[in-house]
Amino acid sequence: MNAVASGVGAFVALLGAAVVVSILAERLRVPVAVALVAVGTFVHVDLPFAFGDVLLFVFLPPLVFEAAWNLDLGALRRTGVRIAMLAVPGTLATAALVAGALIALGVFTPGSALVFGAIVSATDPVAVVAAFRRVDVPLDVRTLVEGESLANDGVALVLFALALAFASGASPPVGVEIAAGIAAIAIGIAVGVVFGLACAFALRATDALEYEVTVTIVLAYLAYVAAAAWHGSGLFATAAGAVALRAALARMPAALTNAADVDRAWIALAFIANAVVFLATGILIQPQRIVHEPVLVIAAVGAVWLARALLALVAGRSRRDRVTLFLAGMRGALPLALALGLPATLPGRPQIIDATFAVVLITIVAQGAPLQPVLARLYRRA
């Protein structure tokens, strides 16, 4: 068997295992993301792909597109300011609080602490969003959680690049770094809007389902890759493209003849990506590296939880909002990919990876396992 066939076989086996675990988790009423990560930690196999690059350029575009595509435009307008506050100053504050706490505790040097703070500043509320489908959660709360995750992933990537440059000693002046970060986000949004509008006009020329689905897939990847090539944020480009396309189609609904079928196609694509990513996340986590550094683990997880609690306290408008926002602060595949992709020469790299393993595993399991009953109790009808 040649290398290509072997790789395809290994990927299909991974996907098949993820489907089986997901079905069993549904029957046992366990959050699918929690089950996939937990099972993955007991599996000792080599992944058939390079996790970091494949996550960023293969799995993230469809995950981001599907989440942005399904945002309610009315709720997005109502919660836009709060999303922006959570995603930009909220992400920056989270990174700063985590880094500051670990520096004060003497766990990391300033450079390593800033890198770690940037890595864990992005949230992954997939388990929360899945629970929303079974619990009567207000639309604005759901949009706030999903919108924050979409936007803070992009901000965290920009922040990570700046922190890594600082820790590596190759950092330009702070003003230049900030300007570069703002430019990357602006370029990404502009690319996404232009491509999204172009795809809306392309869809007016066809009513075939296969073309409609394909156009949206092309948009998800093309916006991401083009923005990255032009030194912009691919995540912001894909998200902006999905929102721009959805907004344009709302003004000319006849342009998307098979809207319900397109939505179903994206549900399937997002499930494939999420299932593989979460199972791969569990496989990559090495529990033995978490256990042998208890002080580091306690400090890292405690700092992340403290920062999230403070952010939820400030951003939430009610007790229910604050609890939901805190639970939505799980960390997932993106922090893991960033940590594993750190240069070998970076001071404190092993400790950063160990701390990231701990934060990802503990936040997903500890916050995800009781998620549905907690939300059901919070949002039960009076």
Rg (CA), the chain: 20
pLDDT band at 381 (very low <50, low <70, confident <90, very high): low
Fill in the DSSP letter of residue 57. I
The pLDDT of residue 175 = 66
Maximum mean pLDDT: which of 59-73, 122-136, 165-179:
59-73
Q: Write the DSSP symbol of residue 253.
A: G
pLDDT of 85 strictly over 50: yes
Structural domain boundaries enclosing 7:
3-378
Q: How large is the average pLDDT for residues 135-148?
A: 86
Higher pLDDT, 271 or 368: 271
Burial class (CB in 10 A: 0-12, 13-18, 19+), 306: middle
Compute, in degrees rounded to 10, the torsion defined by CA atoms 187, 273, 356, 311.
Answer: 60
Decide if pLDDT at 288 tops 60. yes
Q: What is the CATH number of the domain that holds 209?
A: 1.20.1530.20
pTM listed for this prediction? 0.89
C-alpha 304/C-alpha 295 separation (Å) is: 14
pLDDT digits (tens, 9 = 90+) for 297-331: 899 999 999 999 999 998 888 888 899 889 888 88
Whether the Cβ atoms of residue 372 and residue 131 lie closer than 8 Å to each other: yes
How many Cα atoms within 13 Å fall on the side-chain side of residue 9?
Answer: 6
Query: Which 3 state secondary structure label does DSSP give 93?
Result: helix
Read off the pLDDT of each residue in 192-197 and give the average, rounded to a whole number: 96
pLDDT band at 382 (very low <50, low <70, confident <90, very high): very low
Mean pLDDT of the chain: 88
Asked whether the beta carbons of 268 and 224 are under 8 A apart, the reply is: no
More confident residue, 124 or 351: 351
Q: How many domains does the chain have?
A: 1
pLDDT of residue 290: 83
pLDDT one-digit tens code per residue, 14-49: 999 999 999 999 898 888 888 999 999 988 888 888
Q: What is the pLDDT of residue 48?
A: 81
Whether residue 170 is predicted with pLDDT greater than 80 in this model: the reply is no
Q: Is the pLDDT of residue 238 over 90?
A: yes
CA distance 202 to 152: 30
Residue 1 has pLDDT above 70, yes or no: no
Dist. CA 201–CA 249, nearest whole Å = 9
